[in-house]
Amino acid sequence: MKKIEIPENQLKRLYLEQKLTTYEIAEKFGSCQATIWKRLHEYGIKPRYPWNAINFSNRKLEDLYLKRGLSTWQIEKYFGLSKSTVYRKLREQNIITRSLAGSHLQYSRTDFSGDLIEKAYMIGFSMGDLNVTIRGSKSETVMVKCGTTKQDQIIAFKKTFGHYGRIWESKPTGSKRINTQVGLNLSFSFLLEKKEIADGWIVNNNNYFFSFLAGFSDAEGSFFQSRNQACFSLGNYNLKILKQIKNALSKYGIETPKIYTSYLEGKRNCYGYIWNSNYYLLRCSKKIHLSRLIDQLCRYAKHPGRKRDMKEAMKNIENRNNKIKNG
């Protein structure tokens, strides 16, 4: 490899008189910054130490590296520091350095709060309607994705994850479908677990269970009126989770009829595809039990449309009760 010629007098003029950084000089000669430092040493030119000149305090370094998320390379280039200087200072001041994956993150992320009610909702929401993946074995990003034509679903998604990471939202497709996603840190690894049913800690606690069910219902449930009677319906291809929900509701004093089966397996749908499995529906329409269910779910639901429909369902129950009362 041909040695890059950097005349001593020219290097002194650029570095000592014009006060250019080693990075700026390297750009002029088309070389790397390490070569400039090597030539300074060869010519006996005393290097400047910008670190001391700009008085890097521990607080300053924490602000640049931890709060603003700048990489060591960005900090070095900005201040014209020698290679690895920032990394050395981080080690000296016992500041934990980011991994290779973490150093390439573009947007700030916040650790999960640890709140179990919130965790239960997220698990229910993700089991119902979300795609959760990790980018690779060494990745520090948990990707949570949702595709929908309903704006209320996007609002629920943003309310759930918006304060933990940056939400990305696509433009509507021809079918008006909008894809949205968020990159979360590894404190959300619990969302990666693929489960057919909810864990015991969820179903054995009233608050956790109904927060879970609110999340699952925000994704898969609906409140509507049939023959002037309010009704709740929860549909899914996973019979096991619906059976678990039915049993848990009974445990908490809410009775539901037998789970309805829509026999679809092997049949061809309107798009020409063949169904791989049957579809199942859990419903609740009896006034006293539906009222109890709404009282529980309305505390945790984030889906605006679902909350509006719950209010309408309660009005329907009240009107029906008044008719009976007034005879």
**pLDDT per position as a tens digit, 84-98:** 677 677 766 666 655
3-class SS at 273? coil
The domain tally of the chain equals 3
Closest C-alpha among 321, 297, 320 to residue 309: 297
Q: Convert the pLDDT of each residue in 169-183 to its tens digit.
A: 888 888 888 999 998
Q: What is the CATH number of the domain that holds 161?
A: 3.10.28.10
Do residues 212 and 317 both lie within one domain? Answer: yes
Q: Do 122 and 162 sit in the same domain of this protein?
A: yes
Domain that holds residue 243: 200-326
What integer pLDDT is reported at residue 121 of this predicted model?
97
Same domain, 148 and 122: yes
**Is the same domain home to 80 and 167?**
no
pLDDT tens digits along 84-135:
677 677 766 666 655 544 444 555 678 999 999 999 999 999 998 899 998 6
Note whether residue 140 is domain-resident.
yes
Domain-embedded: residue 234: yes
Q: Is the pTM of this model over 0.75?
A: no
Q: What are phi and psi of 211, to 5 degrees?
A: -70, -45
By the 8 A CB rule, do 233 and 281 touch?
yes
Give the pLDDT of residue 233: 96
Q: Are residues 211 and 169 in the same domain?
A: no
69, 103, 137 - which closes a domain: 103
Highest mean pLDDT among 1-10, 75-84, 110-119, 127-136: 110-119
For residues 78-86, average pLDDT: 64
Same domain, 26 and 81: yes
Instruction: List, edge to edge, every strand of the sheet that includes 142-148.
Output: 131-134, 142-148, 178-184, 167-169
* Nearest alpha carbon to residue 119 among 241, 315, 300: 300
Q: What three-state secondary structure class fits 148? A: strand
User: Are both 98 and 120 inside the same structural domain?
Assistant: no
Task: Specify if 283 maps to a domain.
Answer: yes
Q: What are phi and psi of 109, to 5 degrees?
A: -135, 155
Separation CA 191–CA 255 (nearest Å)? 30
Q: Domain end: 138, 170, 192, which one?
A: 192
pLDDT tens-digit map of 37-66: 888 888 888 776 554 444 556 677 667 666
Q: Out of 150, 175, 192, pick the residue that ends a domain.
A: 192
Q: What is the pLDDT of residue 23?
A: 77
- Percent of the chain exceeding pLDDT 70 equals 80
Residues 219 and 278 occupy one common structural domain: yes
234 close to 216: Cβ distance less than 8 angstroms: yes
User: Confidence class of residue 312 from pLDDT cuts 50, 70 and 90?
Assistant: very high
In a domain, 60, yes or no: yes
Indicate if 61 and 160 belong to the same structural domain. Answer: no
Percent of the chain with pLDDT over 90: 47
Q: Judge whether 110 lies within some domain.
A: no
Structure tokens at 245: 């929900």
What order do you get walking across the sheet with 260-262 strand by strand? Answer: 221-226, 229-236, 279-284, 260-262
Q: Residue 209: inside a domain, yes or no?
A: yes
Whether 167 maps to a domain, the answer reads yes
Q: State the pLDDT confidence band at 35, using cuts at 50, 70 and 90.
A: confident
Q: 129: how many CB neighbours lie within 10 A of its CB?
A: 18
- State whether 265 and 307 are in the same domain: yes
Residue 78 has a pLDDT of 63
Indicate whether 28 and 85 sit together in one domain. Answer: yes
Residue 93 lies in a domain: yes
Overall average pLDDT of the 209-216 stretch: 97
Do 84 and 123 have their domain in common?
A: no
